[in-house]
Amino acid sequence: MTQHLGDHLEDHLEPSKEDGLYYKDTDQKTTHSIDKDDKNEIEFTEIETTSIISQGYSQTWATYTDEHNPDGLRIATDEDRATLRRVAAPIGAMTYMLSLVEFAERGSYYGLTNVISNFVQFPLPKGGNGWGATPAGSQLTAGALDQGLQVATALTLVLQFLSYLTPLLGAYLADSKYGRFKTIWAGTIICGIGHIVIVIAGIPGIIEHQKAALGIFIAGLMIFAFGTGLFKPNLLPLLLEQYREDNNWVKKMPNGELVVIDKESTLQRMTLVYYWSINVGAFLGLGTAYAEKRIGFWLAFLVPTILYFFLPLFLWIIRNRVYKAPASEDSLIAGFLGVIYQRLFKKDSTYSEKFQTDVWATLKATRFFLFFPIYFINDGGIGALSNSQGSSMITNGVPNDLLNNFNPLTIIVAVPIVNYGLYPLLRRYKINFRASFRIFLGFMLAAFSPMIGAILQWRIYETSPCGYYATQCEAGVAPITIWWQVFPYVCTALSEIFAITTSYELAYSLAPEHMRSLVMALLLFMSAFSTAIQTGLTPALVDPHLIWPFVGISAAGGAFAIAFLFCYWNLGKGQKLSV
């Protein structure tokens, strides 16, 4: 085992100038090329160049023996993969530890962002305690800064935009300077500072002064978003790197059946565990919704901050046990952009042919990301629009921002069913529910969500005492229970299980090892692009026109889903994920 590790250790070190990955070496000749793209044959085999495929490093299965496999395991052939049942490898303890880290970070993120729109949009409730809470038994909504729907939506979108734009910086620092683990540490510290500043904006004595509270709050959001950008693109690649197998292996089960221990299935299971932990954390929004309504925003901001400070403890515990791929000595992002710049402006390339191959192969492999901005709009809604809709419905003491917690609740329940029920069942019957079908299903489920929202908004307008000006209606709310909003959130939750987790798997699996954080950042950048589109839609979020934003994004989501399936019908059909 030690000799095997020594033979292949260099395959897992990040490249540097000396190995000729980035810059041309006139003494070396390379023969890498990218196969011509074939319409409807999107297998991504074009990225399988020798510069990308690792050389078969195996940490566990190469030396594995048991009573049923006394001579060890053998590497699966293409025929084995086509004829034998595929199973996922057991998930290691580090997967769960890193998922616990993600739970703390995402729990604090969603616990905070869940209450932002109310804090900004609505005024301090009349008859409340002065901290943002509502009088008992009223239909009023918790609030503080009284800036209106458009400002609340704009600030929500700014946070989302920065949280998904700054991952490009996080990927650069991780891949080229400090490695993933150190970059995650830096993001942890910065996010912690942002949490503390935001808590200050909500404390009694500050919250009553709207302009001062707003300024402090915005400063805290900016710091918070910057730290999130360092953290977000690096944790999932770090988690998936803990499975350090490049081959698929044939194993005899106790009943005599031969199965393939499949890398794709293993990464799929690890990703679903990771995503499950995100949504367990996101369920903290349930507590912060009641905290703002019953006590005030100082508590709603403090609870996520307390959870967040468990995160450094978890990172400290695993610091010497987690596998850390070293960073490169060169700027991958600079090189990545440099290759594109030189090709567009027809300049002589200063980069090695090997690195150019990796860049163009990566771009080809990630083209399907371009379909995700519209999906992200359907999945997350347009800023504070859904929360604002809930404030126009009968709540009977239920916080208007409570219902979005049914998104993580649905995922918490559904992920184990999909992970340990649906997917193994499909593999048992050799049904290839491939990536293109999973993403298409996710896109369509997300498009159903705003369709339901449009119907609800129409009914609100038709039944509200203020008619088609229901959002700021002081005469009362529409006689429709807020619990109807559960259905759109269930649709988006199910969509994420199929679309987002599959995109995570593909982003990791199709990327060259030294570009994984960069590719994950490109996927997250699609969320930033989505947020820019939503920002452009913000002026339309006014009565009496709130039905049409729901209708528009639903129609666009359905159209993009069909276009995606047409363009990428074969995505995942026999796809090789050993890159």
**Distance in angstroms (rounded) separating the CA atoms of residues 268 and 572:** 13
State the residue for tokens 């799929």.
Answer: 268
At 137 the pLDDT is: 78
What's 30-319+346-567's CATH class? mainly alpha
Share of the chain above pLDDT 70, in %: 87
Q: DSSP E strands: which ranges in 224-360?
A: 249-252, 258-261
At 548 the pLDDT is: 92
Region 301-321: mean pLDDT is: 93
Residue 487: pLDDT above 90? yes
pLDDT digits (tens, 9 = 90+) for 19-45: 444 555 544 444 444 344 443 343 333
Q: CA quadruple 320, 325, 331, 332: dihedral positive or negative?
A: negative
State the residue for tokens 């710049």.
Answer: 341
CA distances from 237 to 171, 371, 506, 517, 520 (A): 10, 22, 11, 7, 8
pLDDT digits (tens, 9 = 90+) for 80-92: 988 999 999 988 8
More confident residue, 29 or 485: 485
What SS3 class is residue 154? Answer: helix
Residue 576: pLDDT above 50? no
| Residue 29 CB neighbours (<10 A) | 7
For the ranges 42-46, 263-267, 362-366, the lowest mean pLDDT is seen at: 42-46
Q: How confident is the model at residue 233 (pLDDT cuts 50, 70, 90)?
A: confident
Residue 18: pLDDT above 50? no
Q: How confident is the model at residue 550 (pLDDT cuts 50, 70, 90)?
A: very high
pTM for this prediction: 0.69
Residue 17: pLDDT above 50? no
For the ranges 9-13, 85-89, 206-210, 572-576, the lowest mean pLDDT is seen at: 9-13
At 24 the pLDDT is: 55
For the ranges 18-22, 156-160, 533-537, the lowest mean pLDDT is seen at: 18-22
DSSP output for 508-544: HHTS-GGGHHHHHHHHHHHHHHHHHHHHHHGGG-STT
CA-based nearest residue to 236, from 276, 280, 178, 195: 276
**Distance in angstroms (rounded) separating the CA atoms of residues 239 and 100:** 11
At 401 the pLDDT is: 75
Specify the length of the chain in residues.
Answer: 579
At 237 the pLDDT is: 87
At 99 the pLDDT is: 94
| Residue 101 CB neighbours (<10 A) | 26
Share of the chain above pLDDT 90, in %: 44
**HSE-up of 452 (CA within 13 Å, CB side)?**
21
Q: Hey, where are the domains in the chain?
A: 30-319+346-567
Q: How confident is the model at residue 95 (pLDDT cuts 50, 70, 90)?
A: very high
pLDDT digits (tens, 9 = 90+) for 99-114: 999 999 989 998 998 8
